[in-house]
Amino acid sequence: MRPALTLCLPLLLLAADGRRMPPTLVLPKASPADAPGVSFVEIARAAGLASFRRVSGSAVKDYILEAKGGGVALLDSDGDGWLDVYLVNGASLETLRGAGEAPPSALFRNDRNGTFGEVTEQAAVANRGWGQGACTGDYDNDGDEDLYVTNFGPNRLYRNDGRGRFSEEAGTARVALGGWSTGCAFGDYDGDGLLDLFVAGYIILDLERLPPAPSQAVVKPGNALPGTTPKTSEAVQAAYRPGMAYCEYRGHAAMCGPKGLKGAPDHLFRNQGDGTFKDVSVQAGVSDPNGYYGIGVAFVDFDDDGRLDLFVANDSCPNSLYRNRGDGTFQDVSLASGAAFNEAGQEQAHMGVAVGDYDRDGREDLHVTNFENDANVLYHNEGGGLFSETTYPAGVGNASIPFVGWGTNFLDYDNDGWLDLFVANGHVYPFVDEFDWNTSYEQRALLFRNLGGKFAEVGQGGGGGLAVVRSMRGSATGDFDNDGDIDVVVNPIDGEPLLLRNDGGHRAGRWLRVRLVGDPARRCPRDATGSVVFLTAGGVQQRGDVASGRSVMSQSDRRVHFGLGASTRVDRLEVRWANGPTLAYEVPAIDTELVIDQARGVLPAAARAVAIRR
């Protein structure tokens, strides 16, 4: 069983052939920076999730479609107050061409005892396409989480009936698209109280005219070709070599892309309030006419003007940051904001995006994952619409270099009041394992503990769950067992999911979880997406946003979780309701979930279950 093997890896610093084990396989030793008494344990099998196995084309990864992987969503599909898990499945070229049926995506309902039961068929969310990502939002304001699934092919909009059964409405709602969609997010960009939908496009890929495949080259991966190794971090991912019938990575035949392939446009759909959406991408100014390869998507009010802006992590291109003008259009401030490139002015292979106020200055910062031999990038929000890169000074640069980063999430795993950082990793070229390149195809995750605005990598003190290696892709965070600490779920490529249960986080610090119920009559979406919670405890203010999408094509817990450290009370809690005022609320207790209804205020315990189920 793979987890047992991976637990041994830290002891085996040398591979069988004498090569040094790359850092992508070896969890660093425990360090004083590791949060004492808090560890992650991988329990996917015990929790009943291991019956799912993502399929993603051939093992050799001839085409970029096969290497992209998929996302995962944590959602409360049946409104019982417990997080369920939706895992997006892929397919194969053969099934796309009509030979057999694509495997289903899977919905696992939370049995409220640490385990899950699969309910895909009952819930009618099998998807059965080449799935990419998932995001949730109550687009019809009926009090339950609806689910949008992106595909290579038509996307799905699963409308929730409130009891955990879904009907597929993408065609009717006019959000099916086609082509290759990746990340998605719901957000009310026009302030009408209805959730709109943004969908990133990746590549225009014609199955009848695929780019050259490495397995069809006479030179197989493994036969060194001279003269082609990238010398700097600029030269990331495979490049097409003139006159050759395939692309190369470090001199070895590899799948092509994304560079050189045509990028797909992005789409913004305006919710018309009648169950349909209208594609307003072009008039809103977010259609991506440059054809950048979008992956990670986040609606975020980065300038705190009360309007949701939009960030798109674009693979091998500049990131896109669009400022919401408030008149139904966006201004492209990608370059001017400083969030398009790294500090040196170079684009990177941007994959996923995490959003959070890691230094507690009240503004939302961004963390963007990247390719191997490059660092993931931390953009600090300076205010005034500007970001500055703080990757290396903040301590998240060096450790990330050998990894190919995908999903990324801010989470306060030790409840100390500082947002820590999780990164799901995995290479795209299986042949990297044949070489002494200081990296590997399957990789472990990275967890950085926030020590007051600067990060330190968590080592073996963070538990055996962090030692598990897979070729990971989407990741989502949430308190699946409602015990007061944040857990992590990962959807690797060609394999079983990971469920990293947080053991001890709820004992390491006090906590408060906040669930918001918006009032559409006050132009706040029912699920309160876009609302911000400001919490002050121990003289320090934190913020948490109710958000859709983010990470890599994934959806995290929509409830806002705060670690309170040693504080025994919350001094102040304010909610800046989406499209509405900022209101203060009393917090009667901590170490619990607080439900705040915009229309009714803090709900008493008895009313919470009703609010959840409504």
Partner 1 sequence: MPGMQSAILSLILLTQSAVASGAAATPEYARAFQRGDYVRATTLAAERLKAQPADVQARIVLARAEAARGHFDAAYAGFRKALRLDPHSPDALYYLGVTAGVLAQIEHERLLAMAPGSVRAHELRGQSYEAQGRNAEAEAEFEAALEAGPPSVEVLVALGDLERARLSFAEARAHYSRAVELAPGHYDALYGVGVCDAYVGEHAEAAQFFRRALRVAKHSAPAHLALGISLLQTGKAAEAVTELEAAARLEPRMRQAFYQLGRAYQALGRPQEAATAFARVQKLLQQEREVNEAIMEKPDPR
Q: Which residues bind partner 1 (CB under 8 A)?
A: 211-212, 216-219, 223-233, 240-246, 250-251, 253, 256, 259-262, 290-291, 317-318, 335-336, 338, 341, 343-346, 373-375, 386, 388, 390, 392-393, 397-398, 401, 436, 438
| Closer by beta carbon to partner 1, 75 or else 236 | 236
For 225, the token pair is: 């070709």
Cβ at position 260, least distance to partner 1 in Å: 4
CB of 396 to partner 1, least distance (A): 12
Q: Which lies closer to partner 1 via its Cβ, residue 104 or residue 385? A: 385
Least separation in angstroms between CB 438 and partner 1 = 8
- 73, 181, 480, 579 from 291: Cα distances, Å: 27, 13, 37, 31
In the bound state with partner 1, the residue whose beta carbon lies nearer, of 3 and 23, is 23
Cα–Cα distance, 451 to 596 (Å, whole number):
31
> Two tokens at 409?
């999430």
Q: Return phi, psi of residue 29, to 5°.
A: -60, 160
- For the bound state, the minimum distance from the C-beta of residue 291 to partner 1, rounded and expressed in Å, comes to 7
DSSP secondary structure letters along 551-584: BTT-B--SSEEEEEET--S-SEEEEE-TTS-EEE
The nearer residue to partner 1, 332 or 527, going by C-beta atoms, is: 332
Q: Structure tokens of 163?
A: 């009891």
Residue 526: name the closest of 79, 2, 51 by CA: 79
CA distance 409 to 557: 11
Nearest to partner 1 of 111, 436 (CB atom): 436
**Which C-beta is closer to partner 1: that of 337 or that of 554?**
337
In whole angstroms, the minimum distance from the beta carbon of 226 to partner 1 comes to: 4
Q: What is the DSSP secondary structure assignment for residue 153, as one 8-state letter?
A: S
Cis ω before 221 (30° cut-off from 0): no
Q: How far is Cα 166 from Cα 126, in angstroms, rounded to an integer?
A: 10
Residues 508, 514: Cα–Cα separation, whole Å: 19
Question: Which residues, 6 or more positions from 155, have their beta carbon under 8 angstroms from its beta carbon?
Answer: 148, 149, 170, 175, 176, 177, 181, 184, 199
Q: Report the C-alpha gap between 467 and 470 in whole angstroms.
A: 10
Shortest distance, position 288 Cβ to partner 1, whole Å: 12
Nearer to partner 1, 189 or 341 (CB): 341
Q: Which is nearer to partner 1, 305 or 343 (CB)?
A: 343
> Which is nearest to 367 in space by CA: 441, 419, 332?
419
- Provide the minimum distance between the beta carbon of 448 and partner 1 in the complex, in angstroms, as a whole number: 17
Sign of the torsion formed by the C-alpha atoms of 362, 450, 339 and 271: negative
Cβ closer to partner 1: 89 or 381? 381
Output the smallest distance, CB 347 to partner 1, in A.
8
Q: What's the min distance (Å) between Cβ of 300 and partner 1?
A: 21
Query: In sequence order, what DSSP letters do the residues of 192-236 get, joined into one string?
Result: SSS-EEEEEE-B---GGGPPP-GGGSSS-TTS--SS----STTS-
Q: For residue 248, give the nearest of 272, 224, 232, 270 by alpha carbon.
A: 224
> CB neighbours (10 Å) of residue 400?
26
Choice between 127 and 390, CB closer to partner 1: 390
Q: Closest separation between CB of residue 352 and partner 1, Å?
A: 20
The token pair that represents 49 in the structure block: 């999730």
Of 222 and 326, CB closest to partner 1:
222
Residue type present at position 363: R
End-to-end CA distance of the chain: 42
Minimum CB–partner distance for residue 252 and partner 1 (Å):
11
Of the pair 179, 212, the CB lying nearest partner 1 is at 212
Triad 67, 179, 322: Cα angle to 5°: 90
Write down the least CB distance from residue 391 to partner 1, Å.
9
